[in-house]
Protein backbone atom coordinates (compact mmCIF):
# COMPACT_ATOMS: atom_id res chain seq x y z
CA UNK A 1 0.00 0.00 0.00
CA UNK A 2 1.23 3.49 -0.79
CA UNK A 3 2.73 5.58 1.96
CA UNK A 4 0.46 8.37 3.05
CA UNK A 5 2.86 11.26 3.59
CA UNK A 6 1.79 13.08 0.44
CA UNK A 7 -1.85 12.23 1.02
CA UNK A 8 -1.69 13.45 4.61
CA UNK A 9 -0.13 16.70 3.49
CA UNK A 10 -2.90 17.15 0.93
CA UNK A 11 -5.54 16.51 3.59
CA UNK A 12 -4.05 19.20 5.81
CA UNK A 13 -3.80 21.73 2.99
CA UNK A 14 -7.43 21.15 2.03
CA UNK A 15 -8.48 21.26 5.65
CA UNK A 16 -7.03 24.73 6.21
CA UNK A 17 -9.52 26.14 3.75
CA UNK A 18 -12.39 23.74 4.39
CA UNK A 19 -13.39 23.78 8.03
CA UNK A 20 -16.07 21.19 8.64
CA UNK A 21 -18.60 21.35 11.46
CA UNK A 22 -16.82 20.29 14.64
CA UNK A 23 -18.36 17.46 16.63
CA UNK A 24 -19.59 18.25 20.09
CA UNK A 25 -16.67 17.99 22.49
CA UNK A 26 -16.43 15.99 25.70
CA UNK A 27 -17.28 19.03 27.80
CA UNK A 28 -20.38 19.92 25.78
CA UNK A 29 -23.96 19.31 26.79
CA UNK A 30 -26.46 17.66 24.51
CA UNK A 31 -28.62 14.56 24.85
CA UNK A 32 -25.65 12.25 25.48
CA UNK A 33 -23.84 14.29 28.13
CA UNK A 34 -24.87 11.84 30.85
CA UNK A 35 -23.58 8.89 28.84
CA UNK A 36 -20.26 10.61 28.36
CA UNK A 37 -20.04 11.09 32.10
CA UNK A 38 -20.76 7.40 32.69
CA UNK A 39 -18.01 6.42 30.28
CA UNK A 40 -15.54 8.77 31.94
CA UNK A 41 -16.45 7.13 35.26
CA UNK A 42 -15.80 3.66 33.82
CA UNK A 43 -19.47 2.64 34.01
CA UNK A 44 -19.48 1.08 30.56
CA UNK A 45 -22.41 -1.32 30.97
CA UNK A 46 -24.55 1.50 32.33
CA UNK A 47 -23.60 3.63 29.32
CA UNK A 48 -24.51 0.84 26.93
CA UNK A 49 -27.87 0.36 28.64
CA UNK A 50 -28.58 4.10 28.53
CA UNK A 51 -27.77 4.35 24.82
CA UNK A 52 -29.97 1.42 23.85
CA UNK A 53 -30.64 1.35 20.11
CA UNK A 54 -29.68 4.97 19.34
CA UNK A 55 -28.14 5.21 15.86
CA UNK A 56 -27.12 8.85 15.49
CA UNK A 57 -23.38 9.45 14.96
CA UNK A 58 -22.75 10.63 18.52
CA UNK A 59 -24.51 7.63 20.04
CA UNK A 60 -22.59 5.24 17.79
CA UNK A 61 -19.32 6.89 18.79
CA UNK A 62 -20.20 6.57 22.49
CA UNK A 63 -21.17 2.92 22.00
CA UNK A 64 -17.70 2.42 20.57
CA UNK A 65 -16.16 4.23 23.54
CA UNK A 66 -18.05 1.99 25.95
CA UNK A 67 -16.96 -1.20 24.20
CA UNK A 68 -13.37 0.03 24.02
CA UNK A 69 -13.57 0.74 27.74
CA UNK A 70 -14.87 -2.78 28.43
CA UNK A 71 -11.91 -4.16 26.46
CA UNK A 72 -9.42 -2.26 28.61
CA UNK A 73 -5.86 -1.55 27.52
CA UNK A 74 -4.25 -4.11 25.19
CA UNK A 75 -2.31 -6.83 27.02
CA UNK A 76 1.49 -6.74 26.86
CA UNK A 77 2.82 -7.75 24.44
CA UNK A 78 0.14 -6.34 22.16
CA UNK A 79 -1.28 -8.77 19.63
CA UNK A 80 -1.82 -7.76 16.03
CA UNK A 81 -5.35 -9.18 16.16
CA UNK A 82 -8.22 -7.27 17.77
CA UNK A 83 -10.01 -8.73 20.76
CA UNK A 84 -13.81 -9.21 20.42
CA UNK A 85 -14.64 -6.10 22.46
CA UNK A 86 -12.19 -4.05 20.40
CA UNK A 87 -13.74 -5.32 17.17
CA UNK A 88 -17.14 -4.33 18.50
CA UNK A 89 -15.81 -0.86 19.34
CA UNK A 90 -14.25 -0.50 15.89
CA UNK A 91 -17.54 -1.44 14.23
CA UNK A 92 -19.37 1.30 16.14
CA UNK A 93 -16.66 3.90 15.42
CA UNK A 94 -16.82 3.09 11.71
CA UNK A 95 -20.61 3.33 11.74
CA UNK A 96 -20.32 6.72 13.46
CA UNK A 97 -17.94 7.93 10.75
CA UNK A 98 -20.23 6.60 8.04
CA UNK A 99 -23.11 8.54 9.59
CA UNK A 100 -21.01 11.71 10.03
CA UNK A 101 -17.57 11.83 8.36
CA UNK A 102 -16.87 15.10 10.20
CA UNK A 103 -17.06 13.41 13.60
CA UNK A 104 -13.46 14.09 14.61
CA UNK A 105 -13.60 12.12 17.85
CA UNK A 106 -14.76 8.96 16.10
CA UNK A 107 -12.02 9.31 13.49
CA UNK A 108 -9.41 9.78 16.21
CA UNK A 109 -10.82 6.87 18.20
CA UNK A 110 -10.25 4.56 15.23
CA UNK A 111 -6.60 5.59 15.14
CA UNK A 112 -6.21 5.21 18.90
CA UNK A 113 -7.82 1.76 18.85
CA UNK A 114 -5.89 0.37 15.89
CA UNK A 115 -2.55 2.07 16.58
CA UNK A 116 -1.09 -0.39 19.12
CA UNK A 117 -2.14 -3.37 16.98
CA UNK A 118 -0.67 -1.86 13.82
CA UNK A 119 2.64 -1.30 15.61
CA UNK A 120 2.54 -4.88 16.90
CA UNK A 121 2.00 -6.00 13.31
CA UNK A 122 5.10 -4.11 12.21
CA UNK A 123 7.14 -5.93 14.84
CA UNK A 124 5.67 -9.31 13.91
CA UNK A 125 6.40 -8.79 10.23
CA UNK A 126 9.92 -7.57 11.01
CA UNK A 127 10.52 -10.66 13.12
CA UNK A 128 9.17 -12.91 10.39
CA UNK A 129 11.51 -11.36 7.81
CA UNK A 130 14.48 -11.72 10.15
CA UNK A 131 13.67 -15.42 10.56
CA UNK A 132 13.59 -15.81 6.80
CA UNK A 133 9.85 -16.26 6.35
CA UNK A 134 9.07 -15.87 2.66
CA UNK A 135 5.64 -14.27 3.17
CA UNK A 136 4.62 -12.86 6.55
CA UNK A 137 1.07 -13.62 7.59
CA UNK A 138 -1.38 -10.95 6.39
CA UNK A 139 -2.55 -8.38 8.90
CA UNK A 140 -6.10 -8.70 10.27
CA UNK A 141 -8.65 -6.91 8.11
CA UNK A 142 -8.66 -3.19 8.88
CA UNK A 143 -5.47 -3.21 10.93
CA UNK A 144 -2.57 -1.42 9.24
CA UNK A 145 -0.31 1.58 9.66
CA UNK A 146 -1.94 3.25 6.66
CA UNK A 147 -5.41 2.77 8.15
CA UNK A 148 -4.30 4.47 11.36
CA UNK A 149 -2.72 7.35 9.47
CA UNK A 150 -5.88 7.88 7.42
CA UNK A 151 -7.98 7.98 10.59
CA UNK A 152 -5.79 10.59 12.22
CA UNK A 153 -5.64 12.59 8.99
CA UNK A 154 -9.44 12.59 8.78
CA UNK A 155 -9.67 13.70 12.43
CA UNK A 156 -7.34 16.62 11.69
CA UNK A 157 -9.47 17.64 8.74
CA UNK A 158 -12.70 17.37 10.71
CA UNK A 159 -11.54 19.61 13.57
CA UNK A 160 -9.17 22.41 12.63
CA UNK A 161 -8.53 23.50 16.22
CA UNK A 162 -7.89 20.18 17.95
CA UNK A 163 -4.30 19.35 18.82
CA UNK A 164 -4.93 15.95 20.45
CA UNK A 165 -5.22 14.13 17.12
CA UNK A 166 -2.12 15.91 15.79
CA UNK A 167 -0.08 14.77 18.76
CA UNK A 168 -1.45 11.24 18.41
CA UNK A 169 -0.51 11.23 14.73
CA UNK A 170 3.01 12.47 15.48
CA UNK A 171 3.56 9.87 18.19
CA UNK A 172 2.23 7.01 16.08
CA UNK A 173 4.05 8.03 12.90
CA UNK A 174 7.33 8.36 14.80
CA UNK A 175 6.97 4.93 16.39
CA UNK A 176 6.00 3.43 13.03
CA UNK A 177 9.07 4.90 11.33
CA UNK A 178 6.97 7.26 9.20
CA UNK A 179 9.26 10.23 9.73
CA UNK A 180 7.90 12.24 6.79
CA UNK A 181 4.37 11.87 8.12
CA UNK A 182 5.52 12.83 11.61
CA UNK A 183 7.24 15.94 10.22
CA UNK A 184 4.03 16.86 8.37
CA UNK A 185 2.16 16.45 11.65
CA UNK A 186 4.61 18.72 13.45
CA UNK A 187 4.17 21.38 10.77
CA UNK A 188 0.42 21.24 11.37
CA UNK A 189 0.88 21.33 15.14
CA UNK A 190 2.99 24.49 14.83
CA UNK A 191 0.23 26.03 12.70
CA UNK A 192 -2.43 25.16 15.28
CA UNK A 193 -0.43 26.16 18.35
CA UNK A 194 1.45 29.25 17.21
CA UNK A 195 3.83 31.12 19.48
CA UNK A 196 4.34 28.05 21.67
CA UNK A 197 8.09 27.56 22.14
CA UNK A 198 7.55 24.09 23.63
CA UNK A 199 6.06 22.87 20.36
CA UNK A 200 8.94 24.36 18.39
CA UNK A 201 11.49 22.71 20.68
CA UNK A 202 9.70 19.37 20.34
CA UNK A 203 9.80 19.75 16.57
CA UNK A 204 13.49 20.57 16.77
CA UNK A 205 14.15 17.52 18.94
CA UNK A 206 12.35 15.34 16.42
CA UNK A 207 14.34 16.76 13.51
CA UNK A 208 17.61 16.40 15.42
CA UNK A 209 16.72 12.77 16.23
CA UNK A 210 14.52 10.46 14.16
CA UNK A 211 13.80 13.16 11.58
CA UNK A 212 17.47 13.18 10.57
CA UNK A 213 17.56 16.90 9.79
CA UNK A 214 19.83 18.72 12.27
CA UNK A 215 19.88 21.87 10.16
CA UNK A 216 16.10 21.95 10.21
CA UNK A 217 16.28 21.45 13.96
CA UNK A 218 18.45 24.55 14.28
CA UNK A 219 15.80 26.58 12.48
CA UNK A 220 13.06 25.39 14.85
CA UNK A 221 15.20 25.98 17.92
CA UNK A 222 15.96 29.50 16.68
CA UNK A 223 12.23 30.15 16.34
CA UNK A 224 11.70 28.95 19.91
CA UNK A 225 14.36 31.36 21.17
CA UNK A 226 12.37 34.26 19.71
CA UNK A 227 9.74 33.55 22.37
CA UNK A 228 12.08 32.31 25.09
CA UNK A 229 15.50 33.85 24.52
CA UNK A 230 16.97 32.68 27.84
CA UNK A 231 16.21 28.99 27.23
CA UNK A 232 19.57 27.52 28.20
CA UNK A 233 18.58 23.94 27.34
CA UNK A 234 17.64 24.88 23.78
CA UNK A 235 20.78 26.94 23.31
CA UNK A 236 22.81 23.95 24.48
CA UNK A 237 21.11 21.75 21.87
CA UNK A 238 22.03 24.28 19.19
CA UNK A 239 25.62 24.35 20.40
CA UNK A 240 25.85 20.57 20.15
CA UNK A 241 24.55 20.52 16.58
CA UNK A 242 27.01 23.19 15.47
CA UNK A 243 29.89 21.42 17.22
CA UNK A 244 28.91 18.08 15.69
CA UNK A 245 29.03 19.76 12.28
CA UNK A 246 32.39 21.38 13.11
CA UNK A 247 33.83 17.97 14.04
CA UNK A 248 32.52 16.41 10.84
CA UNK A 249 34.06 19.21 8.73
CA UNK A 250 37.33 18.85 10.63
CA UNK A 251 37.45 15.11 9.96
CA UNK A 252 36.72 15.77 6.28
CA UNK A 253 39.55 18.37 6.21
CA UNK A 254 37.05 21.12 5.40
CA UNK A 255 38.76 23.56 7.70
CA UNK A 256 37.05 26.88 6.80
CA UNK A 257 33.64 25.24 7.25
CA UNK A 258 34.80 23.73 10.55
CA UNK A 259 35.91 27.15 11.80
CA UNK A 260 32.59 28.72 10.82
CA UNK A 261 30.57 26.05 12.67
CA UNK A 262 32.88 26.33 15.66
CA UNK A 263 32.13 30.07 15.87
CA UNK A 264 28.41 29.36 15.74
CA UNK A 265 28.70 26.70 18.40
CA UNK A 266 30.52 29.06 20.75
CA UNK A 267 27.65 31.55 20.54
CA UNK A 268 25.36 29.04 22.21
CA UNK A 269 27.86 27.54 24.67
CA UNK A 270 27.97 30.52 26.99
CA UNK A 271 28.97 28.65 30.16
CA UNK A 272 32.78 28.20 29.99
CA UNK A 273 32.53 25.20 32.33
CA UNK A 274 29.97 23.35 30.21
CA UNK A 275 30.82 20.17 28.25
CA UNK A 276 30.01 22.07 25.07
CA UNK A 277 32.52 24.81 25.86
CA UNK A 278 35.13 22.15 26.61
CA UNK A 279 34.43 20.45 23.32
CA UNK A 280 34.67 23.79 21.49
CA UNK A 281 38.13 24.30 22.96
CA UNK A 282 39.17 20.82 21.84
CA UNK A 283 38.03 21.53 18.27
CA UNK A 284 39.79 24.89 18.38
CA UNK A 285 43.04 23.19 19.46
CA UNK A 286 42.73 20.67 16.63
CA UNK A 287 42.22 23.48 14.12
CA UNK A 288 45.18 25.40 15.56
CA UNK A 289 47.33 22.31 15.14
CA UNK A 290 46.25 22.04 11.52
CA UNK A 291 47.05 25.70 10.92
CA UNK A 292 50.48 25.21 12.52
CA UNK A 293 51.32 22.40 10.11
CA UNK A 294 50.53 24.49 7.07
CB < 8 Å & 24+ apart, contacts of 110-113: 110/147, 110/148, 110/151, 111/148, 111/149, 111/151, 111/152, 111/155, 111/165, 111/168, 111/169, 111/172, 112/168, 113/68, 113/82, 113/86, 113/89
How far apart CA 50 and CA 34 sit, in angstroms, is 9
How far apart CA 281 and CA 17 sit, in angstroms, is 51
- pLDDT for 192-213, tens place per residue? 998 899 999 999 999 999 999 9
How far is residue 180 from each of residues 152, 166, 189, 252, measured CA to CA in Å? 15, 14, 14, 29
pLDDT at 2: 41
pLDDT at 64: 98
Is residue 99's pLDDT more than 90? yes
How far apart CA 232 and CA 56 sit, in angstroms, is 52
Higher-pLDDT residue of 210 and 76 is: 210
Average pLDDT, the chain: 88
Provide the 10 A C-beta neighbour count for residue 132: 6
- pLDDT for 39-62, tens place per residue? 999 999 999 999 988 889 999 999
pLDDT at 122: 87
- pLDDT for 229-267, tens place per residue? 999 999 999 999 999 999 999 999 999 999 999 999 999
* pTM more than 0.85: no
Name which CATH class applies to 1-194: mainly alpha
Is residue 290's pLDDT more than 80? yes
Amino acid sequence: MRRVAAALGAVLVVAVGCRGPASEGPSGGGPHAEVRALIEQGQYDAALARLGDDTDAEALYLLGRAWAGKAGPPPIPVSEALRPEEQQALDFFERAVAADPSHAEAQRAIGDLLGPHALAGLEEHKGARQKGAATPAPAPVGVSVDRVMRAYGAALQADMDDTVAVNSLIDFATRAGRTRDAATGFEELVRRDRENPDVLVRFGDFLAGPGGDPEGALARYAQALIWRADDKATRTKMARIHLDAASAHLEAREYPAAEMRLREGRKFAADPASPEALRAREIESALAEVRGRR
